[in-house]
């Protein structure tokens, strides 16, 4: 049973985290304590999951999903060695690649794929794709990123950092 699909489990999970942080977090799932999302439910219609301490975001009707909402508003420590946001990653495997500090890397130029397009035709038209995911090319998933394509729609700082100031 996952807290994202079972309200009673979600309340218990938030209670367990409350015992660690010393703050009450159960209010984040209390209104969905009697809710259970079953496979047949999502077959019929997509459902919003129940907020869970597994994630640092919040599923709520009044708050847009923000990946560090609970860290900022519930004062839950970040899941790092220090419990804070980190700029330096002291992981041997990252240092082996020469990466340990947050750095900006521009998106890969998809025009570089032009010379190999059409080399292995399978009868279908080919497309070069530029995948933008929450996990950037050279960073840890906790790092904040900006892609050139969304520079005009996305604020310079994430809401998490802006709200902390």
**Averaged confidence pLDDT in the chain:** 78
CA separation, residue 158 to residues 81, 101, 146, 161 (Å): 22, 18, 10, 6
Instruction: Provide the pLDDT for residue 133.
Output: 55
pLDDT band at 153 (very low <50, low <70, confident <90, very high): very low
25-54: pLDDT as tens digits: 999 999 999 999 999 999 999 999 999 999
90-122: pLDDT as tens digits: 778 878 888 777 776 677 777 787 787 777 777
DSSP category for residue 60: -
Q: In the predicted model, is pLDDT for residue 130 greater than 70?
A: no
Q: In the predicted model, is pLDDT for residue 147 greater than 60?
A: no
Instruction: Provide the pLDDT for residue 131.
Output: 62
Q: What percent of the chain has pLDDT over 90?
A: 36
Cα angle 152-158-162, degrees, rounded to a multiple of 5: 115
61-76: pLDDT as tens digits: 888 888 889 999 999 9
Phi, psi of 50 (to 5 degrees): -90, 140
Indicate whether this model's pTM tops 0.95: no
Q: In the predicted model, is pLDDT for residue 151 greater than 70?
A: no
Phi, psi of 113 (to 5 degrees): -80, -10
- Report yes or no: 58 and 32 within 8 Å, Cβ to Cβ: no
């Amino acid at each position: 049973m996952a807290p994202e699909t079972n309200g009673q489990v979600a309340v218990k999970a938030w209670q367990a985290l409350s015992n660690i942080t010393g703050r009450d977090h159960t209010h984040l799932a209390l209104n969905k304590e009697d809710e259970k999302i079953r496979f047949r439910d999502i077959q019929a219609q997509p459902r919003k999951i129940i907020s869970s301490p597994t994630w640092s975001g919040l599923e709520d009707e009044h708050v847009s999903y923000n990946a560090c909402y609970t860290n900022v508003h519930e004062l839950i420590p970040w899941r790092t060695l220090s419990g804070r946001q980190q700029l330096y990653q002291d992981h041997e495997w990252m240092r082996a690649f020469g990466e340990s500090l947050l750095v900006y890397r521009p998106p890969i130029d998809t025009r570089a794929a032009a010379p190999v397009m059409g080399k292995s035709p399978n009868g279908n038209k080919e497309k070069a794709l530029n995948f933008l995911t929450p996990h950037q090319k050279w960073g840890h998933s906790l790092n904040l990123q900006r892609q050139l394509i969304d520079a005009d729609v996305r604020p310079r700082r994430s809401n998490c950092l802006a709200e902390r100031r």
